[in-house]
Amino acid sequence: MKMIDEQVKKYPIMLYMKGTPRQPQCGFSGQAVRVLNAVGADFSSVNVLEFPAIRDGIKVYSDWPTIPQLYVNGEFVGGCDIVTQVYIIDYIIIYYQLLLSILLLSILLLLSILLLSILLLLSILLI
């Protein structure tokens, strides 16, 4: 447990997984790696299949029964499902922020066209 505690505190982003980032040995570990890569995270990892003591110890350390397990700044984030949900929620938020920005720009463009039309009409009427 001491080794696990040192690792999660030493590395800003630590993933305990089955396999390696280049060769995940289960779909859940592979999905966690895909999410971390998608957000450009520079992360460290431990292949729990090579270290049975860590494989058992990490479950006790986090009080979480499954692997993979992600730690960020020494704090347990969750397993594959939670990591994926956080990624999806962040993606949805960014998507809707982008849509809102496009909508606001469209409204500004329409208001500008309306204002120019009014000015053109006034200039015609005043001639």
Residue 14 pairs in a beta bridge with 44, 71
Q: Which pLDDT score, from 0 to 100, does residue 27 have?
A: 95
Tokens of 49: 């299949």
Q: For the domain 2-80, what is the CATH code?
A: 3.40.30.10
Over residues 75-84, the mean pLDDT reads: 90
Give the number of other Cβ atoms within 10 Å of residue 110's Cβ: 10
Give the number of other Cβ atoms within 10 Å of residue 50's Cβ: 11
3-state SS of 91-109 is HHHHHHHHHHHHHHHHHHH
Q: What residues have CB less than 8 Å from 73, skipping those under 6 apart?
A: 12
Q: Which pLDDT score, from 0 to 100, does residue 94 have?
A: 75
Give the number of other Cβ atoms within 10 Å of residue 39's Cβ: 13
What is the Cα–Cα distance from 22 to 30, expressed in whole angstroms? 9
Q: Is the pLDDT of residue 84 over 90?
A: no
* Segment 5-26, tens digit of pLDDT: 999 999 999 999 999 999 999 9
pTM, full prediction: 0.72
